[in-house]
Copies of this chain bind each other. A is one copy, B any other.
Amino acid sequence: MPEAPLSSAPLFEGLSAADVAAILAAAHRRRYGRADFVCHQGDPVDAVYMVAGGRVRLTQLEVDGQEVVIRFIGPGDIFGAVAAFKVTQFPVSGEVVEASEVLAWDRATMVSLIERHPRLGQNLMAILSGRIQEMRERIGDLQTQRVERRIARALLRLAQQAGQRTATGILINLPLSRQDLAEMTGTTLYTVSRVLSQWEADGIVKPGRERVEILRPHALVTIAEDLPSP
């Protein structure tokens, strides 16, 4: 998948190349390897971050020790904004699943950048708004839809953001265990395994070790939406 340049990230929409360059120049950069943590839940935070390359899995730990996958983020995605503008601790942990580079603007820098480039603030609000919308959908799914459909939707979303065309279908191009999928959809790794096995029998997906390839995306859409199977 050809990486889009960072300047086309949603955060920079509507800004001139010169402005983007200036904003990028104000960031600190840091590299991380696989399995590193870019942040730990509970750590103090006073900055906004952007993933410049690679992929990070954001998870939330419940008080009883259960883990919830909030989302996977990749190039151009930001994180830490929630913490920077409201709470002062990271509400999530970020584990690198694919070697990454991360940009950081500390809070004061970001505030002054926004004053200089109002569009940056609007973009940030649009990003936060979009995230709220996604979460509303996820809450709706969790409250009203069955597990099978939730898994189908999660796979389609992952295909959207990390899908790679192959000869036989679309490969979700990140290490994705049954446990990960379970923590994204509010079920157990056992149920995920059973559902994927069934779909494999139906020729819809080809599951592997920490790997899922979608063979018949349309069949998955049929399961994900409220359609009669045509």
* CB atoms of B186 and A143 under 8 A apart: yes
- Given the known interface contacts A125-B81, A128-B128, A225-B63, the answer about A86 and B118 at a Cβ–Cβ threshold of 8 Å is no
* CB atoms of A140 and B86 under 8 A apart: no
* CB atoms of B130 and A186 under 8 A apart: no
A169 at the B interface (CB under 8 A): no
A139 to B136, alpha carbons, bound, how many Å?
Answer: 9
Bitwise interface map of A from 53 to 81 toward B, beta carbon under 8 Å scored 1, else 0: 00000001011101010100000000001
A91 at the B interface (CB under 8 A): yes
Least CB distance, A61 to chain B, in whole angstroms? 9
A135 at the B interface (CB under 8 A): yes
* CB atoms of B62 and A140 under 8 A apart: yes
Residue among A70, A87, A136 with the highest chain B CB neighbour number at 10 A = A136
| Least CB separation from A124: chain B residue | B125
| Least CB separation from A118: chain B residue | B115
Partner of A136, one of B60, B118, B144, B226: B60
With a cutoff of 8 Å between Cβ atoms, the chain B residues found around residue A81 in the complex are 125, 129
Query: In the complex this chain forms, how many copies of it are found?
Result: 2
Interface residues on A, range: 35 or more
Bitwise interface map of A from 32 to 69 toward B, beta carbon under 8 Å scored 1, else 0: 00000000000000000000000000001011101010
* CB atoms of B133 and A82 under 8 A apart: yes
Partner of A68, one of B62, B131, B140: B140
A183 at the B interface (CB under 8 A): yes
A190 at the B interface (CB under 8 A): no
With a cutoff of 8 Å between Cβ atoms, the chain B residues found around residue A114 in the complex are 118, 121
Least CB distance, A10 to chain B, in whole angstroms? 10
- Given the known interface contacts A111-B118, A140-B62, A144-B64, the answer about A135 and B132 at a Cβ–Cβ threshold of 8 Å is yes
Apart from A124-B125, A128-B128, list 15 A-B contacts with CB within 8 A.
A62-B145, A66-B144, A68-B139, A68-B143, A83-B129, A85-B122, A86-B129, A87-B130, A111-B118, A111-B122, A114-B118, A125-B125, A138-B139, A139-B142, A142-B143
